[in-house]
Structure 1
Amino acid sequence: MSGFNPLDVFDARALAARRRRALALGSETFLLDRVAEDLADRLAAVKRRFAIAADLGTPTPALRDALAGSDMIGRLFAFGPAERADVDAVADPEVLPFAPESLDLVVSALALQTVNDLPGALAQIRRALRPDGLLLAAFFGSGTLAELREAFAIAESDTLGGISPRVAPFADLRDLGGLLQRAGLALPVTDVDRVVVRYGDPLALLHDLRRMGAANPLTHRRRTPLLRKTLARLFEVYAERFADADGRLRATFEIAWVSGWAPHESQQKPLRPGSAKARLADALKVPEGKLPGGG
């Protein structure tokens, strides 16, 4: 994003600042490393070769490392933020630099959740894929940090008389299949992996989020420092509601997986209406007009 748009949910400058701070603090990559390994396993199940592939937006080399040496990929180019030292080209997922039908594969790990125009980004990816090219991506889903979201809402309501945006409104899994189809991708598949991480206290979670570069990037976030009384109430609520029997606290990360193919004549297609060769009544062994629930 080149400029500020008041309608944008995510602040691009804040996102870049969060990534730089994470590098300065020492990046926490356990979640991204897990996702990169999972993506490599999912890609291996496809059992075909992709000559030209792009790693889009992944904030670290984790995905490139996980796919290194794979005989399924000819060349893998990394397009991502300037803070990632090994990128082949700096790229903003809002405005992609790919020529039409120039890629056989696009992969992305924990990056697309902060794209303001996700439908537009998916449409650009679709244009960049050659026929029968594949998009395989993972990003944070809507259930991510549900515990922290609830605890913050209660703490701010109790201490400030209102709430402010604290946790990003990530995409809902139920909407993703429709977004893939809207972008023109065929055979769309979505699923979710929920990862529960346990912490000794909420402060450890907040520190991890900073080291992931995942602190609040919302455009309309509260710009004043968090009050001590609000932080104290946050800790109380989190411990009251989300502690296990041993006292450790749960934090849920929802990993939303999406895949879709650029259309190709070899792909399976739904049957045309009226093309069925057997009647439903015969299959169910009931008289015509007496189908279950049909009256």
Structure 2
Amino acid sequence: MSQTPEIFDTALIEHFRQRAAKRAMPGVDFLLARTVDDLAERLATVDRRFTHGLDLHSHTDSAARALQHSGKVTAIERIETAPAFITADFPARIAPREQPALPLQGADLIVSLLSLHLVNDLPGLLTQIRLGLKPDGLFLAALCGAGTLGELRESLLQAESELDGGASPRIIPFADIRDVGSLLQRTGFALPVTDIENTVVRYDNAFTLMADLRAMGMQNALHNRSRKPVSKRFFSRVAEIYAERFSDPDGRIRATFSILWLSGWAPHKDQQKPAKRGSAQMPLAEALEHFAGK
């Protein structure tokens, strides 16, 4: 039996996130705030009433509040990795990110914001989530995807190659939208849907960007990260490369955050089924011509 590769240092992720929570600064939660707004919009399009909603490792109670304000969820429970992320406003319990111990068919709605990209075994966690849903229950999540911090990744790699003659991983490997869509299918979700929302944030320089990332708890927590001390010269060169390649005419730099949204339903016998391949009654070219003429 093959072991899941250890991509992340889970203890270090928790250290960074808990420290960020204790030192929470106004405005640095802009990315989470944006995804919470998107969550509210997506829930508004779902014509359902849910009896039991779970907010899975979303770091703050913002997602739970969005569920509450939607008026579509009767009871809301939060699951978090540490007491630092829990408030008194919602029932909550502590469980690890990779093993949330979800009751079998215990909820008809599970949401998760900006957490799934930090797990070593995403297929395993998605399977647990699907089993934790009642038949015809909905899973809705947002995670950072490929393209996130691409400008910083390129600047770090170039600077380290110049100064040390090689490069070590400093930005986590974010998932591609096609891979995530395939995972939803492989782990048994029905009617899987994925899409992407790109947000470009502008900063004065790379140092202010990296300060924001630290304030969000988004430092390098890769298991195979370099333990070698980093010099001020290295970060200065990173800032120079960033400004050279990714700045606007006013001198400010761009940072991209690509948020993957995914949704899927626990299978149910009454759900709509995709049409069988080859079952179309009209050739595609003829259909396009038909509708173009209307």
**Distance apart, 1:101 and its partner CA:** 1.0
| Distance change (3 Å), C-alpha of 1:240 and 1:76 | same
2:13 corresponds to which residue?
Answer: 15
| Distance change (3 Å), C-alpha of 1:84 and 1:275 | same
Q: Distance in 1 between matches of 2:219 and 2:23?
A: 13
Give me the CA root mean square deviation: 2.0
- Match of residue 96, structure 1, among 83, 88, 100: 100
1:291 corresponds to which residue?
Answer: none
1:200 corresponds to which residue?
Answer: 204
2:42 equivalent to 1:42: yes
Q: Aligned runs of 1:58-77 on 2, under 5 Å?
A: 58-77=58-77
| Distance change (3 Å), C-alpha of 1:251 and 1:74 | same
Q: Distance in 1 between matches of 2:66 and 2:195?
A: 21
Q: Distance in 1 between matches of 2:19 and 2:197?
A: 28
Q: Deviations over 1:92-126 (max 9, x none)?
A: 23112112111100001101110110001001111
**Distance apart, 1:20 and its partner CA:** 2.2
2:30 equivalent to 1:30: yes
Q: Is the 8 A contact 2:7 2:120 kept in 1?
A: yes
SS in 1 for 2:5: coil
2:233 equivalent to 1:232: no
Q: Distance in 2 between matches of 1:279 and 1:41?
A: 36
TM-score by length of 1: 0.90
2:125 corresponds to which residue?
Answer: 121
2:292 corresponds to which residue?
Answer: none
Aligned residues: 281
Q: Aligned runs of 1:1-295 on 2, under 5 Å?
A: 7-27=5-25, 28-82=28-82, 83-86=84-87, 88-272=92-276, 275-276=279-280, 278=281, 280=283, 283=286
| Distance change (3 Å), C-alpha of 1:182 and 1:281 | closer
Q: Distance in 2 between matches of 1:232 and 1:199?
A: 16
Q: Is the 8 A contact 2:123 2:187 kept in 1?
A: yes
TM-score by length of 2: 0.90
Unmatched segments (≥5 aa) in structure 2: 289-294
Q: Distance in 2 between matches of 1:92 and 1:121?
A: 11
| Distance change (3 Å), C-alpha of 1:205 and 1:281 | closer
SS in 1 for 2:197: strand
**Distance apart, 1:6 and its partner CA:** 9.2
Moved more, 152-161 or 58-67: 58-67
**Distance apart, 1:21 and its partner CA:** 2.0
Q: Distance in 2 between matches of 1:279 and 1:31?
A: 45
**Distance apart, 1:280 and its partner CA:** 3.1
**Distance apart, 1:88 and its partner CA:** 0.5
